[in-house]
Amino acid sequence: MSKFRGSLSLNWYWDPVNGNFVLENNTVKRIIQEQKTSGEVSIFSYQRVNQEADKVARYALNHQGLKRGDVVAVMMRNEPEFIWIFLGLAKIGVIVAFINYNLRADPLKHCLRESDAKVLIVGKDDDLLKAVEEINTELLEKGVDIWVSGEGITENIPQNFSHLQKATESSSSGEEIPRHIRQGITLMDPLSYVYTSGTTGLPKPAIITHLRYIRGAFLMAVPTKLNENDIVYTSLPLYHSMAGVVGLSAVILRGATIILRAKFSASNFWYDIRRHGVTVVQYIGEICRYVLATPQSPLESRHVVRCFIGNGLRSDIWLKFQSRFKLDHMVEFYASTEGNCWFSNTYNKPLSCGRLSPFLRLVFPSFLVKYDHEKDEPVRNEQGRCIPVEIGEPGLLIAAIKGNFTFEGYKGNKGLTEKKILRNVFQQGDAYFNSGDLLYTDSNYFLYFSDRVGDTFRWKGENVSTLEVANVLAEVEGVEDASVYGVKVPGKEGRAGMAAVTLQEEKKLTWQLFENIYNRLSDRLPAYARPLFLRVQHTLDLTGTYKQRKEQLKGQGFKPSEVKDDKLYFLDETKRAFVPLDAELYERIIRGEERI
């Protein structure tokens, strides 16, 4: 656990003369790091952090020859070193690529290759060192230097690995880096690369400019009314934009406190919140669901949390979560790492992620347009222009690329960047960012998330929202979570629904459970939206930020020989029940002998 603490004496501002975000050195803020084994607490002032950042900067500049525009990849867990390494490299104009520490082998090599990093800084954890050692040959061939960060590192590491802390202590001072070093850097220059989560393929390095980083700060600081007395808790990894861009920048902007947890723990969540007097909590994905699934505890009602902020809170648990834990405000927002539009639920409207009124559209030029799921593209009229949706109708969110609403895209691959741009949308020559998300508004212009365009599929001539089906399944007592997707059935148009579900710890597979699932689906969903296939898993495959990975599930489909470790079931409407799906039944389905 790490903790940044202090007052408004910390200032990080844009220097228009010399360029760059500048961290002032007059603060008494501190970092408290809780050791995992002994429980000892190490305290660092923010002045100390700034000094450590300057040591890293001087070592990189004077002894390694790094310069403005060079790239350094950082693969570390949530720890103070991550932050002062990032700040130090930013001081000399070096771009930092945030690497997901869960990556191994080819995906890891892919991310490092895409970044063009000259140096890889890796944390001292044994599993991280092993992961880098496994690709060490390739890194040597490409001339990538490897620095290991952290104290207590064993000497049993490859010869080409350098101890960063030892090197900075012996070869560089903590004197302030002169501002002329970063002279000429502008708001539009890259500060870092943050990789998309890779739910549908290999991660892509989104370009985070200085301007985008500043915007990230306000995205959190404004709707939460963050101030110097707040204590922000995040268990999200710093390599992700929610923590490393939005959370950290907002805390620095307002002079608040940030609690960094190395890894999310549902069982220790309220203990942490109480212990540190947390007032603002960051969430993403399924974190709220995991916390809600924990047994009730006296700690959960004895807190001073005034708001949660994040995205991905599912509608089926929103009100339960807010009611049980007595939370005043859920600041659900909509944004993406690379996108140029963002909305936040400043009105505390249940289930909403913001507002998109005609007036706000003048300020934030964003629109919802009709989408063709079969062609996987926006619907266009006879003149070739996109068509806005009606109130209550899900539509593709697009945002104009003009003025300050820039879209820098992804590093290197211009084709990937171009794929995210829609052209000639409402008039010849215009350009819009394609969010890839479906949202809708109500009569008061409140905005609600509907689905990802790749997740929605068509079956029997109708569009099926995977999120809607997953929410219904998650309401069944005994079901922990659900991941819904479409699978191809030979001889049938579109895709049939399939759901991978996990069960709550104390629940077992029983026919009563399957009957409850069948009844809930029948009561809540039209026939075309009910999944024909069920796959019971021990755990869902999630990214490091708790987003569901579905590509492998889609690829394996409902073929028993492809799904060896999980149990499969088929919705037999003649029996009004889910029945075991074995090889024989599979063949009958493939031959068209089963009614579906």
**Domains of the chain in sequence order:** 10-185 (3.40.50.12780), 210-338 (3.40.50.980), 350-452 (2.30.38.10), 460-590 (3.30.300.30)
Chain centroid to CA 301: 28
Q: What angle do CA 237, 271, 4 make, to 5 degrees?
A: 50
Q: Say what the pLDDT of residue 22 is.
A: 39
Provide the pLDDT for residue 21. 38
E strand residue ranges, 251-299: 257-260, 280-284
**Environment class of residue 333 by beta-carbon count within 10 Å: exposed (0-12), middle (13-18) or buried (19+)?**
buried
The amino acid present at 492, given as its one-letter code, is K
> Could you write out the DSSP letters of every residue in 475-524?
TSTTEEEEEEEEE--TT-SB-EEEEEEEE-TT----HHHHHHHHHHHHHH
> 172-175: which pairs have CB atoms within 8 A and are 24 or more residues apart?
172/54, 172/55, 172/56, 172/58, 172/59, 172/62, 172/63, 173/54, 173/55, 173/58, 174/51, 174/52, 174/54, 174/55, 175/54, 175/58
Nearest to 390 by CA among 372, 368, 371, 358: 368
User: What's the angle, vertex CA 221, arms to CA 208 and CA 321, rounded to 5?
Assistant: 105
Q: Which pLDDT belongs to residue 155?
A: 66
DSSP secondary structure string for all residues of 294-308: SPP-GGGGS----EE
pLDDT tens digits, 457-471: 878 867 788 888 998
Pairing mode of beta strands 462-464, 21-23: unpaired
Distance CA 369, CA 397 (A): 7
Q: What pLDDT is stored for residue 15 in this prediction?
A: 40
Q: Is 396 helix (H, G, I), strand (E, B) or coil?
A: strand
Tokens of 46: 């923010």
Tens digit of each residue's pLDDT, the chain (596 residues): 555 443 222 334 334 333 333 344 334 444 444 434 344 555 666 778 888 899 999 999 988 999 999 999 999 999 889 999 999 999 999 999 999 998 888 889 999 999 999 999 999 999 999 999 999 999 999 999 999 998 767 666 777 899 998 888 877 776 888 888 888 899 999 999 999 865 556 789 999 999 999 999 999 999 999 998 898 999 999 999 999 999 999 988 888 888 888 888 999 999 989 988 999 999 987 789 889 989 999 889 899 999 999 998 988 889 999 999 999 999 999 999 999 999 999 999 999 999 999 998 988 899 999 998 778 899 999 999 999 999 999 999 999 999 989 999 999 889 999 999 999 999 999 999 999 999 999 999 999 998 888 777 878 867 788 888 998 999 899 998 999 999 989 878 778 999 999 998 767 788 899 999 999 999 888 888 899 999 999 888 877 767 777 878 988 999 999 998 899 999 999 999 999 999 999 999 999 898 88
Q: What is the pLDDT of residue 43?
A: 62
Q: Residue 403 is encoded by which pair of tokens? A: 């003025």
CB 543 within 8 A of CB 242: no
Q: pLDDT value at position 44?
A: 66
CA neighbor of 296 nearest in space, from 276, 326, 275: 326
